[in-house]
Amino acid sequence: MRTTITRGIAAIGATTLLFLGTACSNDREGSTSAKASGDATAGFAQDSLVGVALPAKTSENWVLAGDLFTNGLKDAGFKADVQYAGASTTVADQQAQISSMVTKGAKVIVIGATDASQLSTQVEQARQAGATVIAYDRLITNTPDVDYYIAFDNFKVGQLQGQALIDGMKAKKPKGPWTIELFSGSPDDNNSKVFFDGAMEVLKPLIDKKDIVVGSGQTDIKQTAIQGWKAENAQSRMDSLLTSTYNGGKKLDGVLSPNDTLARAIITSVQGSGKPVPVVTGQDSEVESVKSIMAGVQYSTINKDTRKLVAETIKMVQSLQKGEKPQINDTKSYNNGTKVVPAYLLPPIIVTKENAAEAYANDPKLSPLTK
């Protein structure tokens, strides 16, 4: 079974909120440990422990999430155990952290997976101990032991990135063909393929018509992937592409970058070569990228307000505590290879220089940058 998302997801608005019903029970068929899950029971004490296992701090959103979970869970009356995987031994760190949360008796464990496919033992332990497992931002794959998924609509993120790339290139050069390069995220993050697929859904028809040309010919996700979402890996791939493909004066019009960290690394590489900066997309609304967008360098980013995602996750925990079904709005898009995980998806927003002031109006950190 493919671990991916269906195209239908783009059509699902955040307003179409449903309560988890029979569809979900069907989704759970085949799960041996589903009965042990806390979500189908009468709730738990309000001062219970909630574990939050986050990946390494590969982008600002993860840094923000940690503090927001620590404070938000405490304000809601829970005990919070918030952990990050270290920078190098990410998988082993996260596995140990989750096991320790289970041992400490956490009633809910929220996980931003460092490697989607390496947590099945730990989430099985969690559910056997009666905890509910919520995959946060990144899906956990190949296991029946994930109760819920909460994230921004990842496929939509990719579509918005693909469209922004086209719009940005058209604004600079109204008629194609345009020459681009493609980058995608870390292969161990389930989101990477979903972002890429969303973007390719928009770009492929133009690639097929030869309105868009991938200069290097590297269109396979295996060729475009950036291990660990690391800036240095993106910079060195861009350096190589510039040497292999753009040395003879060929013009590069655009680069699909899956997030801001990689976008800035790609821009640094191009600037180092002395070539003009192409249209570069991004994601996360990181401070340095918002500054770059306002300065007319990076073209776009995506606003996925971490404050909202954490607040919605804490609402899920509160519903579980009361013995209620958490609100979900998608029961078909996220097949993790074993089952379809019921999801609550929030809408991402594309941001360019044009709408930045509006998009960040309610963000005290980012709105001053747009003035």
Nearer to ligand BGC, 10 or 129 (CB): 10
Residue 308: partners with Cβ closer than 8 Å, 6 or more residues away: 346
Instruction: Give the whole-angstrom CA distance, residue 71 versus residue 284.
Output: 21
Binding residues for ligand BGC (CB under 6 A): 58-59, 61-62, 137-138, 185, 189, 191, 229, 259, 283-284
Instruction: Give the whole-angstrom CA distance, residue 169 versus residue 198.
Output: 18
Instruction: Give the whole-angstrom CA distance, residue 70 versus residue 307.
Output: 12
Shortest spacing between CB 60 and ligand BGC, in angstroms: 9
Which residue in this structure is represented by tokens 């509006």? Answer: 358
Instruction: Give the whole-angstrom CA distance, residue 305 versus residue 249.
Output: 40
Secondary structure string (H, E, C) spanning 123-158: HHHHHHCCCEEEEECCCCCCCCCCCEEEEECHHHHH
Nearer to ligand BGC, 49 or 343 (CB): 343
Nearer to ligand BGC, 124 or 137 (CB): 137
**Residue 12: CB atoms within 10 Å:** 19
Shortest spacing between CB 188 and ligand BGC, in angstroms: 10
**CB 317 within 8 Å of CB 359:** no
Nearer to ligand BGC, 288 or 324 (CB): 288
Nearer to ligand BGC, 143 or 283 (CB): 283
Residue 131 amino acid letter:
A
Shortest spacing between CB 282 and ligand BGC, in angstroms: 9
